[in-house]
Each structure stands twice: as structure tokens, then as C-alpha cells.
Amino acid sequence: MAKQTGIIKLKGTIDDIAFYKTADGHLARAKGGVDRDKIKHSAAFARTRENNSEFGTAGKGGKLVRSALRSLMQNAKDNRVVSRLTTALLAIIKTDPVNKRGQRNLDGGNLVLLEGFDFNSNGKLDTTFFGLYTPSFDRVSGDATIAIDAFNASERIAAPSGTTHYKLAMAATELDFENKVFVYNEMDLGIQPYDSAPVLAATLTASVTPNSTLPVLTVMGIEFYQEVNGEFYSLKNGAFNALGVVEVSEI
């Protein structure tokens, strides 16, 4: 892989060199690779087929998670969240102790490893909100809760310059990776002024199916706003909004 320099950047293919653009800039590489039919059928590529299968499972799982959390995630994500989430889920698939290579899945893996995942690497939850909170999930009732202790916003929230208001929110999603469906619910504390006034303790609750046998993710996020003439605008297009997985419940 080589990086393109100069004023004119190329995209496409010239002879055996492919030119393309990535988040790391304009790159170039030699064309090549193994025949696709050989990868599909040759015994020499059995490991490749297994790896590809599990990578595909991780990709589909990531799409389900992103679809479920779209309401909060659309304002709190970075441009590499798809690849980062896929990588995290692939690592979870590899913890499946029962199924064979190539057939391992997310339901068999340790999904608790997803706790602490941030959807926006530019605004991580644990370096943005320093208030104390306790997540919990009652599988019988289907209620996911986050109990937030009283706090002072100007002391406990690392807000970007220009912030006049913020909003704390949480969501719970019940994920059926096999059938690619989900149940989702969210709650927030409303838009609050970013100042030194005391904020009372509060509990956020989002409910999914009672007695569910599926994994449930609980996420918490914070969005920043700037008030102009009575209207609230997402600050810097949400570049520093945070959203993180705070609890994963498995059977």
C-alpha cells in the first residue's frame, strides 16, 4: 500500500495499480488476489472461508445493533463506527466455546465484552460525563434503568466550547441476532441548561419484553446544544456527543 502525493489525486485503475481514497488519504496498491472460485472450493482455503463466514456474521450483527440504536446513534457516532463495531463483535464471536470455526456466533459468544464500547471515539462517555450512575436490568419485568446521582453540570460534564444546554438519555434494546429483529425503547431527561445549578438525582427507564431470553444492551448518551433565539441547535453537528454501552445482560 502506498500513499499518493502531489496535487492531482487519482481514483480508479491504471494497468495493475488501483488508486482509491480512504479515511487515511489517497492510496494506491497493486492489483492481485486469489481466484474467487478457488477460495470458495479449495481445501487450502478452508480457514479463509471460516474467517469470512464469521466476519460476515459480525457485520450482520453490527448492522442490527446500529439499526436498533439509530435514534440515539445518528447524533453520536464517528466515521469509523461500522468497522470498529464489527471488529468488537468479531472478537466476541471468537469467544464462542461451543460451535466450530466458521459457525461461531454472537449468541454463543461473551457479549458482555461489548460493555464500554463508545459509538463516537471523538466523544467518549467516560471522559465526557463524570457523574455517578448505576445501570441495572430486571429480566422479569424487562425494565432497564440507569440511576443517576445528583450532580453539578459544569463540574461533572466536559462540554465542548459553545455549549449552552445538554441532554442525558438512555436506551435499551433486545437483540435477536438469528432472526435479525430487535425491540427498542428510550428515555431522556430533556434539554437542560449547562450551568452550575444542582441537578437532582433521577432514574431513567426503558423497557423491553418481559422474561425475554435474548441479550439486552443498555446504552447511555449525552448530546450538546447551543441556544440561539430560543431554538436549540446540535452543537458542531454532534461531533462531541457521547453514546456508550453501559450494560449487557445475557441469559
Closest by CA position to 107, among listed 178, 179, 191:
178
Provide the 10 A C-beta neighbour count for residue 169: 23
At residue 182, the pLDDT reads: 98
Q: Which of 156, 158, 135 is nearest to 241 (CA)?
A: 158
Domain assignments of the chain as residue spans, ordered by start: 1-32, 36-249
Predicted TM-score (pTM) of this structure:
0.83
DSSP annotation of 119 reads: S
Helices (H) and strands (E) in the chain, counts: 5, 15
State the pLDDT at residue 21: 73
- CB of 205 within 8 A of CB of 80? no
CA distances from 229 to 27, 219, 224, 226, 232 (A): 46, 32, 17, 10, 8
Burial of 143 (C-beta count, 10 Å sphere; 0-12/13-18/19+): middle
- Contact between residue 145 and residue 203 where contact means Cβ atoms under 8 Å apart: yes
Per DSSP, what are the bridge partners of residue 25?
22
pLDDT tens-digit readout, 26-76: 666 656 555 566 555 465 555 767 778 899 999 999 999 999 999 999 999
Residue 144: which of 176, 113, 184 has the closest Cα?
184
Q: Count of alpha carbons within 13 Å of 251, Cβ hemisphere only?
A: 12
- pLDDT computed for residue 34 by the predictor: 54
> What is the DSSP annotation of 69-85?
THHHHTTS--TTHHHHH
Instruction: Quote the pLDDT of residue 20.
Output: 66
Positions in the chain short of pLDDT 50: 41
pLDDT at 251: 83
Specify the pLDDT at position 103: 93
